[in-house]
Structure formats: C-alpha cells, structure tokens
Amino acid sequence: MDVKSELVNINGSRFYYEIAGQGDTLVLIHGSSTDTRMWDDQFRPFSEHFQVLRYDMRGHGQSDQPTDEPYSHASDLNMLLEHLDIKKAHVAGLSSGGTAVIDFALLHPDKTSSLIPISAGPTGRPSTKSSTHEIDKAIRLAFNTSGKPAASKIAYEHPVFNPAVMNPLSSKRMKQYLDEAKDWWRMSRKDPGNFEEPSQITRLNEISVPTLVIVGELDIPEMGPASDSIVNGIPEARKVSMLNCGHMVNMEDPNTFNRILLEFLRQI
C-alpha cells in the first residue's frame, strides 16, 4: 500500500495527514486525546476499497497546537480537502471528530457523500451534568498539581476510555495514546476552537445524505440519547449499537466495526 504523508500549512496552522488508496474518498477523524493512529485497524483495509484520508486535528498528534486565534475543525477539514483537490467525501468522525463532521455536513452539503458520526452527539442539546464530571475534575487537579503522567494514569479510569483500556485488543494502544496525548494544554487554557453551527440539533433535518450513527452499548449514559437525537433529526439516518464496546468502538472491536461501515458505504 502506497501511503502519502505530509505536514501542510492550511488555515494558519500545520496539519499532518496520511492518504492512501483509490476511488471515492473516505475521511476518518479521531477524537480528543488520540490522533490518526486510532484508525490503524481501518486505514489499510478501507484503502483497498476507497481513497482514505486521516489527519491529526489541530492540537493533536503531529499537527500544530492552536494559537489564541479562533478556529473550527470543519473549516480545517474543508481547507485540507481543497488542498488535496478532493471534491466530495464520506466523512466519519469519532466523539469530537463526530461532532466536527456533523458541522462539515451542514456547512458543505455539496462536498458530503455520506455522514458517519461515531460515539458522538450534536451541539445544541439541552445541557445536563455529565456522568464524567467528577473524574474530569480529578484529572484536571492531577494535571495541575502533579503533571501529565499522573493525569494520564487517572484517565485510564475515565468511563470514555476505560472499556478500551480494559479490552485486550486495544489496551496497550489506548494507554499509549493517553500517555502521549498532545491536547493536555486544554487543562490550563481555553480552547479557541468552536463549532461553526453551535445549534446543530436544530438543523439536522437539513442533512439529506445517507447517515450512519455508530455507538457502543457500554459508552457513557448520555451517549445513547445524544446519538438518538441525530437519528431522530436526520431523515436518512440509521443507528447501529455495537455490543460489548464502549466509546472507542473501532479499536475495541475492529472486525465488527469494519464490517458495519463497509456494508453501509457499499450501499451508497
């Protein structure tokens, strides 16, 4: 498999990306505290059927950290596609990456072939206290008093990451990603990033492309209603819940995840 990788300057920042394969383009966007490597189980297999693009979002992996200037992940993705002369793509994103691809689909419907939010929810949902509030506080305290190594160890127990940490298929990699995460800067300063549509939930009915929502049955409690709101809002959406998986479904059960995603894409 021939893989092209590059650090490219777009939107006032450097972004690392990898691209391989031929055919229709599939974009894979990671979530917080990870990077392109979380798609290792998908990048090669899907490049046998598609042109697959994965990249480190701003503030993650090999891409630059944000400055104080406002930015949006949807705009970064759009500029990267323009740089690569990609006119249209299937866009898949996990967690914050999933919210980013919803943003992209709303802003650039002509460039969206299909939408795949994974372990994600839309912006604009009624605010409720997160089930992770206490451990989020513990991680922040550990980071500010004892540094990143102490905080990352607590992150192993975070309900979002713990199923992947405990899963033999993903444990070693998940711990490595948390230990090496580049987005800990958010513990000490505000992220100037934003979603260009802060009330996505009110506009979901404008999305007309085929949409697949993927969630894990062991994910945090609020993820079920969040994913349901996408399915209820988008006319062409359907949902698949993966058994015995938490938030990082593509790492925890890559064979099942790949089968579900490939079957969906082949129907389009």
Q: Please give the C-alpha separations between residue 129 and each of 69, 132, 134, 163, 217, in angstroms, as whole numbers.
A: 29, 8, 10, 21, 20
Query: pLDDT for 59-115, tens place per residue?
Result: 999 999 998 899 999 999 999 999 999 999 999 999 999 999 999 999 999 999 999
The domain segmentation of the chain, as residue ranges, is: 3-132+191-266
d(CA 132, CA 137): 9
d(CA 62, CA 55): 9
d(CA 229, CA 98): 14
User: What is the pLDDT at residue 28?
Assistant: 99
Total count of residues recorded for the chain: 268
Q: Map tokens 């993650």 to a residue.
A: 60
CA 116 from chain centre, in angstroms, equals 10
User: What is the pLDDT at residue 138?
Assistant: 87
Are the C-beta atoms of 7 and 62 separated by less than 8 Å? yes
d(CA 80, CA 77): 5
Query: pLDDT for 118-138, tens place per residue?
Result: 999 999 998 777 888 899 898
Contacts of 183 (CB under 8 A, 6+ apart): 32, 33, 59, 60
Give mean pLDDT, residues 214-223. Answer: 97
- Per CATH, which fold does 3-132+191-266 belong to? Rossmann fold (3.40.50)
Query: pLDDT for 141-192, tens place per residue?
Result: 888 898 889 889 999 999 999 999 999 999 999 999 999 988 776 776 778 8
- pTM of the predicted structure, to 2 decimals: 0.96
Give phi and psi for 149, each to the nearest 5: -55, -40
